[in-house]
Amino acid sequence: MSKSEAPLLAADGMPLKEKLARTTRRMKMRAFLLTVPLVLFLLVSFVLPIGQMLYRSFHNPTGSNVVPNFAVAIKDWDADQGIPSDDIVKILVEDMAAARKNREVGKTIGNLATRVNYEIPGSRSLFTKTARRAGRITEGPYFDALVKIDKRWDSPHLWRTLQRVTNDYTIAFYLAATDRKFDESGSIVQADELYRIYLPILWKTIWISALITALCFIIAYPVSYLLSTLPLRTSNLLMILVLLPFWTSLLVRTSAWIAMLQKSGIINNILVYLGIIADESRIQMIYNITGTVISMVHILLPFMILPLYSVMKTIPPSYMRAARSMGASGTYAFTKVYFPQTIPGIAAGTLLVFILAIGYYITPALVGGSDGLLISNLIADHIKKTLNWSLGAALGTILLVVVLVFYWIYNKLVGVDNLKFG
Amino acid sequence: MSFIDKCKTRGFAALIIATLLFLLYTQSFAGMLGFLIIFGIPYFAMNDLPAYASTQDKIGKYIFLAVCTCIFIFLILPILIIIPLSFNAEPYFSFTEGMMALDPSAYSTRWYQDIWRFGMTAPDGDEGWWTDMWNNATWIRAMRNSFFLAIVSTLLATGFGTLAALGLSRPEMPFRSAITSLLISPMIVPLVITATGMFFFYGGTMQGIIPGYEKGLANTYLGLTLAHATLGVPFVIITVTATLSGFDRSLIRASEGLGANGWTTFTKVIMPLITPGMISGALFAFITSLDEVVAVIFLADVDQRTIPRQMFSGLREQISPTILAVATILVVMSIILLTTVELLRRRSERLRGLSPG
């Protein structure tokens, strides 16, 4: 009995258990080290850039860059007082005069005016006008001097906004991205009807992605079934018809759909030719939602067919035959025997297509016209055109969160290691 | 049932009668051809159903096959249609009357010539024609940029990706699921978000960090290469881990047991088995980079315009059939790449004994 309690020893006298643990640790380390170069590479080229974008969505130092001293002075001011004390106003006047004199890139009055303008539309001129005369104000009371330049300075709402704007950390862009804003008393309210654009577009994006996913599913299911039941040689041949679009450039496919769907395009030509529609009532199928949906279904279809096919291939045909031989009708055997077994493939395909559809940019930008625009197009517009980078970043963060939630679900249900092409 | 036998059945007679009726009704041979394709292919694809199949089953099967035929047409027609369209003599994106009547004068290769003529300073000059084309033709420059970027970023992605896939497919790999999710995420995260992040980071934060790139990596080939390599990584990981998943690990132990060191095992045993997967992964990364346009829109200057970027602005600004000519070339290229990948996949499956080939 006592003999068996002594630890087993390896050849070099070390306890076997410890030696095994050490070897396992070393093997784990070695496997991990192989992935380190790529992880580091992605960290620099991918993770950090996205992290920085997230940071930018709630960190905007424009205000404190332009009027640094005022930013410090007004930080602890109680906004319910209405108008700050003349000392604070004096600092603002001095800061504005200095900013106008120095004209450093990114620290001009224009930058501040743009930033405030996001929150109080139409206030731009107030700052440019005031800054021009700020240098001439030499003695107090400073507040009265400001009001003399422009009556709009006599507004608690403006000062409250200034306090918020000069704080580097802000949720203002998330509010804007969800069609909300601060009202005059500083509480969060819905934006005016006219300005509510982002949430409707986000919902529209989700809705269109769901529609595309559903259409892809309806189209992919019979084809995948056919491919999985045909003999290998035939199905490999037909698989080429699925894989060729997959390998063809996105831009090529999008231009092909423009050629197909435009008013003088092939589909309209065929319809006119067959006498289904009259020549003068050709259907507008491109540069709107219809065009976006049709071309995106075509583009994303392989991502639905491939996972469905790989699941269906593993289902033995004898199950269906057994069900039929025991008296089940075709429909009954399909819904009770075949369909439930394809659910893993359905989950993989629908989640993948939905995730890819929700962030699509190129196709909606080219064939979407104005009503087929999706959230990605708005983000790109804010980054490239209107240059409201923080708002673009906030919208991007919201989209990213939605995508990551679905990615997480995908990972839980399907597992990323099950992704395959062909 | 052979083809000849099929032609002798009652169903075939019905098909022919229906087609002729359709021809009488529409008076068009092209229409008849379409009708014959949609309803004829399913007819010939009908294989013998089991004896217990009822008429209802047969009709169901026929409808099912007809639907599948339509779906395959939907998949492939848009891609094939651009090939004849690119030979249009007129500057339109649609078939002209002459093209429908197969009039040779309605077809021309002028849009193909445009690929190398457009943007040249003297497209009809003799002096230094080749240098002029090489340096100034818009599409030729775009092609040079595209291929340069695709090749360099593919090498980067394949190198890093294969190494990581080797680690990921070891059974003792710690945090496998978390690391795999991270490495696949460039494919999942919307391109606009990735490109936005890179636009800020490469253009702003990277300023002055890398010697020689004091202004940051925006508008440089280096920045674009990094971006494209990042986007190609998931494809390499997916294909190489798929190849490694059927990998018989006892081969490694056998090799070690016979006295080979780690390097010899890698080059003589592992490499030959994963090379097909690696090449497919590389081709995926290559086509991803060649097709990528969002990162190029955000990160590249006019000098770094690639083929898809040029097509993007072409489709937005002035639609010309030159785009279709380029598209046709790209389609031919993707057919070649697809064939290569398919052959590699079969070879790899044969090597691993997964299929009879």
| Nearest CA among B330, B323, B335 for reference residue B115 | B323
A326 and A411 together in one domain:
yes
Asked whether A356 and A306 are in contact (CB, 8 A), the reply is: no
What pLDDT band is residue A59 in, cutting at 50, 70 and 90? very high
Asked whether A342 and A260 are in contact (CB, 8 A), the reply is: no
A163 and A42 together in one domain:
no
* Closest residue in B to A299 (Cα–Cα): B75
| Nearest CA among B190, B170, B195, B191 for reference residue B180 | B170
CB pairs under 8 A between A and B: 290
Interchain contact, A240 vs B196, CB within 8 Å:
no
Residues of chain B found within 8 Å of residue A380, distances taken between Cβ atoms: 192, 196, 297-298
Q: What is the pLDDT of residues A351-391, one digit of tens each?
A: 999 999 999 999 999 998 888 889 999 999 999 988 899 99
* Residue A201 scores a pLDDT above 60: yes
Nearest to B196 among A254, A383, A415 (CB): A383
From residue B300, give the alpha-carbon distance in Å to each of A361, B42, B67, B292. 17, 49, 44, 12
Residues of chain B found within 8 Å of residue A330, distances taken between Cβ atoms: 56-57, 60
Contacts of A296 (CB under 8 A, 6+ apart): A212, A357, A360, A363, A364
A209 and A271 together in one domain:
yes
Interchain contact, B315 vs A27, CB within 8 Å:
no
Q: Nearest C-alpha of chain B: how many angstroms from A175?
A: 19
Q: What is the pLDDT of residue B35?
A: 81
- Report the CATH number that the domain containing residue A209 is assigned in CATH: 1.10.3720.10
* Residue A184 scores a pLDDT above 70: yes
Q: Nearest C-alpha of chain A: how many angstroms from B78?
A: 5
Q: What is the pLDDT of residue A376?
A: 94
* Closest residue in A to B335 (Cα–Cα): A244
> What's the domain range around A109?
62-170
Q: What is the pLDDT of residue B223?
A: 93
User: Burial letters for A351-381: b for 16+ Cβ neighbours within 10 Å, e otherwise?
Assistant: bbbbbbbbbbbbbbbbbbbeebbbbbbbbbb
3-state SS assignment for residue A277: coil
In chain B the domains, ranked by start, together with CATH numbers, are 3-85 (no CATH), 130-351 (1.10.3720.10)
Nearest to B94 among A259, A376, A380 (CB): A259
User: How far does CA A70 lie from the centroid of its chain?
Assistant: 36
- Kindly state whether residue A142 falls inside one of the protein's structural domains: yes
- Best of A23, A29, A44, A45 to disrupt the B interface (most B CBs within 10 Å) is A45
Interchain contact, A252 vs B186, CB within 8 Å:
no
- Kindly state whether residue A137 falls inside one of the protein's structural domains: yes
Q: What is the pLDDT of residue B135?
A: 86
Q: What is the pLDDT of residues A388-409, one digit of tens each?
A: 999 999 999 999 999 999 999 9
**How far apart are alpha carbons B203 and B199 in whole angstroms?**
6
> Does A298 contact B at CB distance below 8 Å?
yes
Q: What is the pLDDT of residue B208?
A: 80
Contacts of A190 (CB under 8 A, 6+ apart): A179, A180, A181, A196
A231 and A354 together in one domain:
yes
Q: Tell me, what's the ipTM? A: 0.89
- Best of B28, B55, B71 to disrupt the A interface (most A CBs within 10 Å) is B71
A260 and A159 together in one domain:
no
Q: What is the pLDDT of residue B2?
A: 66
Q: What is the pLDDT of residues A261-277, one digit of tens each?
A: 988 888 888 888 777 88
Interchain contact, A53 vs B287, CB within 8 Å:
no
Asked whether A70 and A163 are in contact (CB, 8 A), the reply is: no
| Nearest CA among A391, A397, A392, A364 for reference residue A380 | A392
Residues of chain A found within 8 Å of residue B183, distances taken between Cβ atoms: 35, 38-39, 42
* Residue A219 scores a pLDDT above 80: yes
Q: What is the pLDDT of residue A1?
A: 47
Q: What is the pLDDT of residue A206?
A: 95
* Closest residue in A to B316 (Cα–Cα): A366
> Does A362 contact B at CB distance below 8 Å?
yes
* Residue A105 scores a pLDDT above 90: no
Q: Which parts of chain B have pLDDT scores under 50?
A: 356-357
A129 and A261 together in one domain:
no
- Kindly state whether residue A355 falls inside one of the protein's structural domains: yes
- Kindly state whether residue A396 falls inside one of the protein's structural domains: yes
Interchain contact, A269 vs B95, CB within 8 Å:
yes
A212 and A260 together in one domain:
yes
**How far apart are alpha carbons A394 and A388 in whole angstroms?**
10
Q: Nearest C-alpha of chain A: how many angstroms from B125?
A: 32
A87 and A50 together in one domain:
no
Nearest to B82 among A252, A301, A411 (CB): A252
Interchain contact, B60 vs A219, CB within 8 Å:
no
Length of chain A: 422
- Kindly state whether residue A175 falls inside one of the protein's structural domains: no
- Best of B55, B184, B192 to disrupt the A interface (most A CBs within 10 Å) is B192
Range with lowest mean pLDDT among A174-178, A185-189, A294-298, B230-234:
A185-189
* Residue A422 scores a pLDDT above 80: no
Interchain contact, B82 vs A380, CB within 8 Å:
no
* Closest residue in B to A402 (Cα–Cα): B189
The pLDDT mean for chain A works out to: 88
A386 and A257 together in one domain:
yes
Nearest to A38 among B200, B233, B242 (CB): B233
Residues of chain B found within 8 Å of residue A41, distances taken between Cβ atoms: 156, 160, 229-230, 233
Interchain contact, B338 vs A247, CB within 8 Å:
yes
Q: Quote the tokens at residue B48.
A: 């013998």
User: How far does CA A1 lie from the centroid of its chain?
Assistant: 66
> Does A253 contact B at CB distance below 8 Å?
yes
Interchain contact, B198 vs A259, CB within 8 Å:
no
- Kindly state whether residue A23 falls inside one of the protein's structural domains: yes
- Best of A255, A282, A413 to disrupt the B interface (most B CBs within 10 Å) is A255
- Kindly state whether residue A357 falls inside one of the protein's structural domains: yes
A210 and A265 together in one domain:
yes
Q: What is the pLDDT of residue A271?
A: 84
A42 and A110 together in one domain:
no
Nearest to B82 among A48, A51, A256 (CB): A256
Partner B, chain A 145-184, Cβ-Cβ below 8 Å:
none
Residues of chain A found within 8 Å of residue B233, distances taken between Cβ atoms: 38, 41-42
- Total domain count for chain A? 3
A146 and A207 together in one domain:
no
Q: What is the pLDDT of residue B357?
A: 36
- Kindly state whether residue A176 falls inside one of the protein's structural domains: no
